[in-house]
Structure 1
Amino acid sequence: MLGLKLFHTTKSGMIEVKPRLAQMEADVQSLVEAHMETLLGVTFLASEYVIDCTDGGRIDSLGLDENGAPVVVEYKRGTSVGVINQGLYYMAWLMAHKDAFRNLVRNRLGASAASQVLWSAPRLICVAGDFTRYDAHAVREHRRNIDLVRYRYFGNDHIGLETVASVTGQPTAIKRAHRGGAGLPSTRKRDGAMTELVEAVDEVLLGIGDGVTRVQRKQYVAYQRLRNFACVCPPQHTKLLVHLKADPKEVDLVPGFTRDVTGLGHHGTGDLEVQLRTERDLDRARDVFRASYAAA
């Protein structure tokens, strides 16, 4: 983003819109909290959450992502100084005080959401004016799900977010020797062709771009950047369903291959359903997979 230039078109020509930092850290926090679902794919739960421990402290923001995973969000106006270690400290507290977080979710979102919190994949999102190369290296040394997000204001009406680094604490590769292993929808005793298709889809989605994280849920497997861009359901007898964030209205729908499921009940997130039966279908779906990745 630091190399990105934004211009405003006027009748007399082009005017560059200069990027800038927020005047105060609280300005960034207030804006993100007010639009957290749109910006980060996270449902906002609490601001300045006071933790009960010897050293004390306040978590800038708490939330729940699309897959039900707890999210700690920390902010810095300028270059990140200590924000990663601070966030990891709060994540450790969170994992040691699950009942407190469940109560917060129950009070805000109801008992059903509280009972389905995904404790295996807690996340830390750090939003700052900038990060150093040492920050990007440091997150790769931690066995946690951490996203470093750089922000910039452009004029008075625009804000840009750029993912500088995204690291998962879970394995991000599947060895074909372990068919139907962890991280894939259960194939049980499905035929070999369907097993091969499931593995091929997993490989394509993990390799589609930088910072892809796989999150295992009982009903689906999510592939995410900051937000989910694909959700793969357990394979049916003859097909595999993938739900994408790409806008169905911008896709030429093909009966038996792509379907608009807006308003229809289904597992995972995304309103564009892709039905895969063979690896040829997977090849046909690559462009819409990339569009969904870009949309997330």
Structure 2
Amino acid sequence: MAIFKNTTGKLNKLNILPLDKEKALQALVESNLMTALDLHFLASEYPTTFGGRIDTLAVDLNGAPVIIEYKRNKNDNVINQALSYLKWLRAQKSEFFRMLMIDKLGKAVADSIQLDWNNPRVICIAESYSKFDMDTVEVVPLRIELFKHRFYEQDIFSLEPLNVPDAQAVLLPAVAIPKDSKSVGAEESLATVEALRSKANEATRQLFDAMQEQILAWDESIEEKATMLYVAYRVSKNFAEVHVQKNQLRIHLRPMEYNDPRGMVEKIPDGYNWTMNRRVYLGNGEDLDYVMGLIEQSYQSLL
């Protein structure tokens, strides 16, 4: 992907620079995980019991464990290596991962994340991929995401998603978890948009349907995913999280300054440590177009 700098109306192409050190890419991504990928960083070079080390271990905003591996040269079989680590992770107990989250993020942040142990993600970051790599992620029924990185002159860095896997593609056996556990059990993996929608009265369901139709019409790459708490809309990251209530929709948006002359966007206090820390309510059809404009600003910030 060519990158250009606009200098008084003239486009100048930026040159791609080689990666100076193998660890430079990993260090840069890890120190900017939330900004780049909406992930909470948990550990670097995390040791497994069979001797390997996971490059980066993280958890996403929906509570799914995330394994990140970096392909540093053409001969690295990064996808197979990541899948081996995923097999190891799945063999562990969810309580192990919960304790790691508490240790690294603090109890308040960890408790705000509903662990989705049955829907892990694998992210591979590389300068390029082979046809074999692309074919592998297409046929393997797991959440494998490929990102291509580039370093450009003038300290420009890009991270481009090459595929958008189905958030529900992974079909792994459910893990039996006690009812009083905070981890997500098999019954919680069945969250659907319709189940959340059914919480609302008829007027609010109609608002949700109108909002949903407009969001999904913006771009075919927009994903819709139901969690136990909300319906998420995302491209590379979440741009809207819709909490369906009986008489209104509570919509969380990305942290940014909005063009909001009516002052409907509220900032959630920093003490909550929420990434999607802007909030707006939609309770009647008269506000629909205005609120859709706010949601679109959140979406546009990711493009």
Task: Tell me the TM-score normalised to structure 2 length.
Answer: 0.77
Q: Would the alpha carbon gap of residues 28 and 292 (structure 1) be closer, same or farther in structure 2, given more than 3 Å must change?
A: same
Percent identity for Structure 1 against Structure 2: 32
| SS in structure 2 at match of 1:75 | strand
Most deviating of 159-168 and 110-119: 110-119
Q: CA deviation at 1:27?
A: 1.4
> Among residues 72, 75, 81, which one is paired with 1:77 in the alignment?
72
Q: Which amino acid aligns with 1:250?
A: Y
Q: Does the aligned pair in 2 maintain the 1:21–1:78 contact within 8 Å?
A: no
Q: CA deviation at 1:137?
A: 4.5
| SS in structure 1 at match of 2:163 | strand
The CA distance in 2 between the partners of 1:67 and 1:120, in whole Å, is 12
The CA distance in 2 between the partners of 1:246 and 1:159, in whole Å, is 21
Post-superposition Cα deviations, 1:72-111, rounded to whole Å, max 9, x if no partner, equal 1111135585322322222222122134323322321234
Q: Does the aligned pair in 2 maintain the 1:129–1:152 contact within 8 Å?
A: yes
> Among residues 60, 78, 87, which one is paired with 1:92 in the alignment?
87
| SS in structure 1 at match of 2:265 | strand
Q: Which amino acid aligns with 2:231?
A: V
Counterpart in 2 of 1:277?
A: 283
Is residue 40 of structure 1 aligned with residue 48 of structure 2? Answer: no
Q: Would the alpha carbon gap of residues 287 and 185 (structure 1) be closer, same or farther in structure 2, given more than 3 Å must change?
A: farther
Q: Which amino acid aligns with 1:64?
A: V
Q: Which amino acid aligns with 1:40?
A: L
Counterpart in 2 of 1:144?
A: 142
Most deviating of 283-292 and 20-29: 283-292
Q: How does 1:179-190 map to 2 (within 5 A)?
A: 182-184=192-194, 186-188=196-198, 190=200
Q: CA deviation at 1:6?
A: 2.2
Q: Gaps spanning 5+ residues in structure 2: where? A: 170-190
Post-superposition Cα deviations, 1:172-205, rounded to whole Å, max 9, x if no partner, equal xxxxxxxxx7135634464333223323434444
| SS in structure 2 at match of 1:130 | coil
Q: Gaps spanning 5+ residues in structure 1: where? A: 172-180
Q: CA deviation at 1:268?
A: 6.7
Q: Does the aligned pair in 2 maintain the 1:61–1:74 contact within 8 Å?
A: yes
Q: CA deviation at 1:135?
A: 3.6
Q: Would the alpha carbon gap of residues 91 and 189 (structure 1) be closer, same or farther in structure 2, given more than 3 Å must change?
A: closer
Taking only aligned residues, the RMSD between alpha carbons, in angstroms, comes to 3.2
Q: Does the aligned pair in 2 maintain the 1:80–1:132 contact within 8 Å?
A: no
The CA distance in 2 between the partners of 1:231 and 1:16, in whole Å, is 37
Q: How does 1:116-155 map to 2 (within 5 A)?
A: 116-132=114-130, 135-155=133-153
The CA distance in 2 between the partners of 1:80 and 1:209, in whole Å, is 35
The CA distance in 2 between the partners of 1:242 and 1:52, in whole Å, is 42
Post-superposition Cα deviations, 1:266-291, rounded to whole Å, max 9, x if no partner, equal 89742433332355644444443333
The CA distance in 2 between the partners of 1:269 and 1:217, in whole Å, is 16
Q: Which amino acid aligns with 1:186?
A: L
Q: Does the aligned pair in 1 maintain the 2:62–2:114 contact within 8 Å?
A: no
The CA distance in 1 between the partners of 2:213 and 2:168, in whole Å, is 15
Counterpart in 1 of 2:187?
A: none
Q: Would the alpha carbon gap of residues 268 and 23 (structure 1) be closer, same or farther in structure 2, given more than 3 Å must change?
A: closer
Q: Would the alpha carbon gap of residues 75 and 233 (structure 1) be closer, same or farther in structure 2, given more than 3 Å must change?
A: same
Counterpart in 1 of 2:103?
A: 107
| SS in structure 2 at match of 1:250 | coil
Counterpart in 1 of 2:261?
A: 253
Counterpart in 2 of 1:195?
A: 205
The CA distance in 2 between the partners of 1:203 and 1:14, in whole Å, is 37
The count of residues paired between Structure 1 and Structure 2 equals 277
Q: Would the alpha carbon gap of residues 231 and 88 (structure 1) be closer, same or farther in structure 2, given more than 3 Å must change?
A: same
Q: Does the aligned pair in 1 maintain the 2:150–2:157 contact within 8 Å?
A: yes
Q: CA deviation at 1:263?
A: 2.1
Q: Which amino acid aligns with 2:228?
A: K
Is residue 295 of structure 1 aligned with residue 298 of structure 2? Answer: no
